[in-house]
């Protein structure tokens, strides 16, 4: 009896060895993406920060914040940063206002029209940004399709948003609708039909349902959506470059121009680091929201 009950040490050792083997396989599997992350993201970040802080001069390498000081005291650079923040905030607000009703409809509608609406909502995902920019110029640009239609019915031309801050706003909102909608629909998937029905049973009409039941339950999902949207819009390049104003300009085109036309590499890297710091703030917010979501699910 004792023999049967006592642990078999050789089997235990085998088990541990197996576990160690599995652990090694796991480390090997994860090592490739970690190395890529280090090579393509972590190293360039530290390299860029180093290049902005250390300058090679006649007297050797010098440490200083002068490039940051230059950026933060230059009115044009600051107005570019504010424009980028403003466009990002307006886009985030418009995206939420557009995509939340759309996601609510897709989540709760039972009709066949919902499938058609979903198809239309996801369509912009398959249109490249440069094609979208060209299409918007042809539609709402000077003498575009809208102007032609208005002219045909004897109405005056529109004040075209092309080459104003509203140009990239329209393009970025249109471009980000699919992903934002998909993320919101996924968040709404966590609100059960029974939870909604129980609220209706208690007397909640549409607005009360949204305010007291649905929005509190998708709060974390909305934070994730906002962080993700802000990250992608803040660092956008193509649409602000093609549709946006020349001055002030958004950070993406500003960086590119500083690098390739002004040929001030150090300032371009400084602009990139400042952009990265702002995005990293939103990124931290995004990671915190994801962690909170996981905790809530537990």
Closest CA to 279 of 230, 216, 220: 230
Calculate the CA dihedral of residues 267, 273, 279, 280 and round it to 10 degrees. -170
Which of 199, 210, 222, 290 forms a contact with another protein (CB under 8 A)?
Answer: 199
Distance CA 203, CA 205 (A): 6
Contacts of another protein in 209-238 (CB under 8 A): 212-213, 216-217, 219
- Paired tokens of 21: 């083997």
SS3 55: strand
Which of 25, 79, 192, 260 forms a contact with another protein (CB under 8 A)?
Answer: 192
Residue 220 CB, shortest distance to another protein, in Å, is: 10
Closest CA to 180 of 242, 235, 223: 223
Which of 10, 159, 194, 261 forms a contact with another protein (CB under 8 A)?
Answer: 194
Which of 127, 195, 284, 287 forms a contact with another protein (CB under 8 A)?
Answer: 195
Count of residues interacting with another protein (CB under 8 A): 19
Contacts of another protein in 61-100 (CB under 8 A): none
- Paired tokens of 125: 């995902």
Single out the segment in contact with another protein by CB under 8 A; choices: 62-70, 85-93, 203-211, 247-255. Answer: 203-211
203 binds another protein (CB under 8 A): yes
Residue 102 CB, shortest distance to another protein, in Å, is: 23
- Paired tokens of 45: 């970040």
Distance CA 258, CA 77 (A): 11
Which of 45, 158, 198, 284 forms a contact with another protein (CB under 8 A)?
Answer: 198
Give the number of residues written for the chain: 298
Question: Residue numbers of the site for another protein (CB under 8 A)?
Answer: 192, 194-195, 197-205, 208, 212-213, 216-217, 219, 296
């Amino acid at each position: 009896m004792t023999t049967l009950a006592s642990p078999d040490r050789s089997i235990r050792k085998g088990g541990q060895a197996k576990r160690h083997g599995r652990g090694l396989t796991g480390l090997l599997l994860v090592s490739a993406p970690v190395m890529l992350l280090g090579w393509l993201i972590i190293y360039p970040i530290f390299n860029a920060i180093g290049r902005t802080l250390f300058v090679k001069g006649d007297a050797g390498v010098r440490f200083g914040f002068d490039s940051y000081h230059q950026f933060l005291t230059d009115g044009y650079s600051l107005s570019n940063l504010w424009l980028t923040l403003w466009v990002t905030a307006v886009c985030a607000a418009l995206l939420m206002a557009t995509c939340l009703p759309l996601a609510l409809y897709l989540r709760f509608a039972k009709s066949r029209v919902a499938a058609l609406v979903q198809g239309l909502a996801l369509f912009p995902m398959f249109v490249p940004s440069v094609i979208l920019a060209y299409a918007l110029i042809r539609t709402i640009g000077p003498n575009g399709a809208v102007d032609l239609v208005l002219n045909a019915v004897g109405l005056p031309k529109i004040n075209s948003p092309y080459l104003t801050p509203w140009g990239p706003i329209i393009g970025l909102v249109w471009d980000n609708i699919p992903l934002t909608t998909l993320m919101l629909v996924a968040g709404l998937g966590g609100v059960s039909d029974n939870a909604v029905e129980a609220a209706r049973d208690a007397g909640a009409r549409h607005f009360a349902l949204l305010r007291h039941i649905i929005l509190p339950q998708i709060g974390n999902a909305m934070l994730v959506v906002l962080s993700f949207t802000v990250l992608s819009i803040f660092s956008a390049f193509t649409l602000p470059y093609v549709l946006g104003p020349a001055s002030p300009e958004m950070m993406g085109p500003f960086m590119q121009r500083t690098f390739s036309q002004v040929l001030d590499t150090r300032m371009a890297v400084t602009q990139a680091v400042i952009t990265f710091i702002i995005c990293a703030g939103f990124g931290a917010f995004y990671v915190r929201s994801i962690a909170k979501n996981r905790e809530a699910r537990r």
